[in-house]
Amino acid sequence: MNVKLDRKGLLSLVNGTEPGYGAFEHPLIKKCGTYCGGFVDEWTWDLEQLNEITDEELYEIYNICQDESINIQQEIEINEFPITEEQRANMPELRFMEDKLNWEMNTSINNHILGNILKQNKEVK
């Protein structure tokens, strides 16, 4: 899929995502944002820095964030238990744990996306 983006579109793409923990030390990522850990657990982009870098660097940041998300998903899939459906059917507690983990992951991702959208709307106003 090819999409033509202007600078505003690239900024929106970057603002709509964040790096995974493994990318925090990347020089370009580190230059353009900060992470607050603990209970906050939030990545914040420095809009002044984002406005100062080139379009190519914005696109690179977006790709780094996407690659990190893909790597995390692959890591989860690689570490899944090699359990057959028959074994799973005989272990209701495992099914419950899998369902709970999937629900927590989806809820966390959705809350994060919603938070980014709300934050962007505040910055636009």
Tens of pLDDT along the chain (125 residues) come to: 677 889 999 999 899 898 888 888 899 999 999 999 888 888 999 999 999 999 999 999 998 988 865 555 555 554 555 667 776 677 666 666 666 666 666 666 666 666 666 676 666 55
Neighbour count for residue 112 (Cβ, 10 Å): 15
Is the same domain home to 24 and 36?
Answer: yes
Is the same domain home to 30 and 69?
Answer: yes
Predicted pLDDT at 20: 85
2 in any annotated domain: no
Q: How far is CA 32 from CA 43, 94, 117, in A?
A: 10, 42, 19
38 lies in which domain range?
8-80
Is the same domain home to 57 and 116?
Answer: no
Neighbour count for residue 109 (Cβ, 10 Å): 11
Neighbour count for residue 61 (Cβ, 10 Å): 25
Neighbour count for residue 20 (Cβ, 10 Å): 19
Is the same domain home to 74 and 90?
Answer: no
* Beta strand ranges found along 38-123 (DSSP E): 42-45
Predicted pLDDT at 96: 63
Is the same domain home to 91 and 65?
Answer: no
